[in-house]
Every structure is written in C-alpha cells, then in structure tokens.
Amino acid sequence: DDQALLKTYQKLFTLKGFDIITCNNAAEALELLKNNPVSVVITDVIMPKMDGMQLLREIKKQYSFVEVIMLTAEGSIADAVGAVKAGAFSYLVKPADIEEMMTSVKHAQKLSNANSENERLKAQIEKGLPVFATCAGLILLAAELGNDDRRWFQTLPVTVKRNAYGRQLGSFYTEEAFQGQGVVPMKFIRAPYIESVGEGAEAMARVDGNIVAVRCGRQLGLSFHPELCSDPRLHQLFLSLVSQGS
C-alpha cells in the first residue's frame, strides 16, 4: 500500500520482463484476482482494514495455486514462521534486495504454474479421468493423511498412513486375495496403507487386516507395486475401468 514503493517495483519488474499489476489495498487485490491470471502476489504485511496475513489466507482459500510473497519492515522469526505455515511462499524484510525478490518471484512462479496444472488435472480426475495410483500415487490422491499435514489432489476419499510399513528395509512380498481377482502377488516398498475408507470408495484388498487397495469410480489406489510382478491382472482391471468410459 506504499505508493512510492509500488511505482518503483512496477518499473523494476517491468524492465525485467514481468507482467505486473499494482493495487492499493487487499480488497482491490482480491477483486483483481477475479479477472486476471495472476501467479504471484507480493503484499505488505501491515495494511489498513485487511492486513497481509488476512489477504494471504483469503488468497489461499480462493486461489490455492497463487503464491504469496510477504513484505514487512518489522519482521520477526515468529512472524515469518506463521506466514509460511499459513501458505506464504516467502517472507522478506524491507528494504528487500531487489535481486533476492526477483529470484523469489521466479521460483514462486514456477511453483504456481505447477500447482495450476495440478488443479486442472484434479478437475479432470473428478470428472472421471481413469487413474491407477500405486504407493506414492495413492498418497497423492488421498483426501487425508493420518501422519502428514500436507495434501495434494484429494480425489480419493480415504485416509492414508505414509511409510506405514517402515523404511526400505521393511519392504516385503506377499500374496493376498484381491476382490474379483483371486490371490495376487504384492510387492511393498516403504509402503503406505489405508487407515479408513470414505463414502464412494471400496476396499479391494487387505494385508494383516490393513487395507492396501481401494477403488472409487475410475480411480484405483494401491499401497503396493503390481508393475514389479509378472501378474497382469490388476493392470487388466485398470484397463477395464478405462474402457468403461470410452
């Protein structure tokens, strides 16, 4: 909201080839985001009415792929940690070095572009794009993680526990029943398992009482690696899900 600083940044970023839009307050910023393809927002922390932290939370709620860089003249480690926990990409203390800021913007832009692609992919999955997710892929699709605060696509209504079977040395092979397929080989490598299954999802296989395979519509999620075994049945099952919509 510092007019002189806004003009300075506009000139410097424009000279470096960035497309930049400036605004005077948080409400104006939110209005601009409705109609402009913005990937990165740089905001002061201390502003009248709606401050930078409130703006950050609102941006992350409405535009999850937009990255936010916070600027402040009175920063503390606690403030920086709080901003990053709330979703800020970085937290810079004024007067910020312009090269450092531009480097931060470039990295934030790359992350924003990747997140935007993820949003598009998530929308396609929700519309019925077939997905075969194994091990880490299951974690990416899970709606919830029992032992991690992070979330990704959240298209599969399950709660997953990461590294549930321990480290690499805990990898193992077994053969267990898989619904509709009989007994199939399963190779687990630092594998997760599914702690609970939500509405619309169906448990397809268990090992020692833990769910290790689930299906929801055209999404098939497995804790193990069927591609490391010679049995083609689970890949054939996925292909049948693909053909259902073709």
Token pair, residue 111, equals 């992350």
Reply yes or no on whether 216 is catalytic: no
Count of residues in the chain:
246
Side chain identity, residue 142: A
User: For residues 76 and 144, is the Cβ–Cβ distance under 8 A?
Assistant: no
Helix 52-62, helix 77-85: angle, nearest 10? 20
Which is catalytic among the residues 176, 227, 229, 235?
A: 227
117 belongs to the catalytic site: no
* Tokens 């936010």, residue located: 68
Catalytic status, residue 135 = yes
Cα–Cα distance measured from residue 88 to residue 52, given in angstroms and rounded to the nearest whole number: 10
Residue indicated by tokens 């397809």: 204
Question: Which residue among 195, 225, 229, 235 is the active-site one?
Answer: 225
Q: Which residue has the tokens 């997953």?
A: 160
Phi-psi region of 190 (alpha: psi -120 to 50; beta: other; left: phi over 0): left
Catalytic residue among 135, 144, 176, 199: 135
CA dihedral 125, 245, 236, 142 (to 10 degrees): 20
Extended beta strands in 45-89, E state: 67-72
Q: Are 41 and 66 in contact (CB under 8 A)?
A: yes
Catalytic residues: 135, 225, 227
